[in-house]
Amino acid sequence: MSLTLICSERFSDHQTPPGHPERVERAEVMNAVAAQARARGHQVTAPHPASVEQLARVHAPEYVARIAETGGRAVALDADTYTSAESYGIALLAAGAAVDAVKLVMSPERSEDRSLQRPGRGRPSGRPEVNAALAMVRPPGHHAERARAMGFCLFNNVAVAAAHARSEGAKRVAIVDYDVHHGNGTQHIFESDPTVLYVSLHQFPFYPGTGAADEIGRGEGTGFTVNLPLEAGAVDEDYRLAFSEVVVPVLSEYDPDLLLVSAGVDAHERDPLAGMRLTSGAFAAMTSELRRVAEQRSDGRLVLVTEGGYDLRALAESLEGVVESLAAGSSDTPWPAAAVASDRGRVAVNAAKRALSAYWKLG
153 pairs with which residues across the strands?
Answer: 150
* Binding positions for Zn ion, 288-327, rule CB under 5 A: 308
Contact 338, 238 (CB under 8 A): no
Question: Residue with the closest Cβ to Zn ion?
Answer: 308
- Provide, rounded to whole angstroms, the least separation between the CB of residue 106 and Zn ion: 27
**347: which residues sit within 8 A by CB, 6+ positions away?**
230, 231
CA distance 262 to 313: 19
Residue closer to Zn ion by CB (options 4, 186) is 186
Residue closer to Zn ion by CB (options 229, 264) is 264
Residue closer to Zn ion by CB (options 71, 272) is 272
Site string for Zn ion, 261-290 (x = CB under 5 A): ---x-x------------------------
CA distance 292 to 294: 5
Residue closer to Zn ion by CB (options 185, 308) is 308
- Provide, rounded to whole angstroms, the least separation between the CB of residue 92 and Zn ion: 21
148 pairs with which residues across the strands?
Answer: 145
- Provide, rounded to whole angstroms, the least separation between the CB of residue 223 and Zn ion: 25
Q: What are phi and psi of 38, to 5 degrees?
A: -65, -40
Residue closer to Zn ion by CB (options 245, 266) is 266
- Provide, rounded to whole angstroms, the least separation between the CB of residue 204 and Zn ion: 13
Q: What are phi and psi of 7, to 5 degrees?
A: -160, 165
- Provide, rounded to whole angstroms, the least separation between the CB of residue 152 and Zn ion: 8
140 preceded by a cis bond (ω within 30 of 0) = no
3-state secondary structure of 81: strand
User: Annotated catalytic sites, by residue?
Assistant: 143
DSSP 190-234: HTT-TTEEEEEEEESS-TTS---TT----GGGTT-EEEEEE-TT-
* Binding positions for Zn ion, 236-265, rule CB under 5 A: 264
- Provide, rounded to whole angstroms, the least separation between the CB of residue 180 and Zn ion: 5
CA distance 200 to 210: 11
**64: which residues sit within 8 A by CB, 6+ positions away?**
52, 55, 56, 155
Which helix (H) or strand (E) is 27 found in, with range? helix 25-39
Residue closer to Zn ion by CB (options 139, 264) is 264
* Binding positions for Zn ion, 152-211, rule CB under 5 A: 179, 181
CA distance 263 to 178: 6
Please give the residue ranges that form the binding site for Zn ion (CB under 5 A): 179, 181, 264, 266, 308
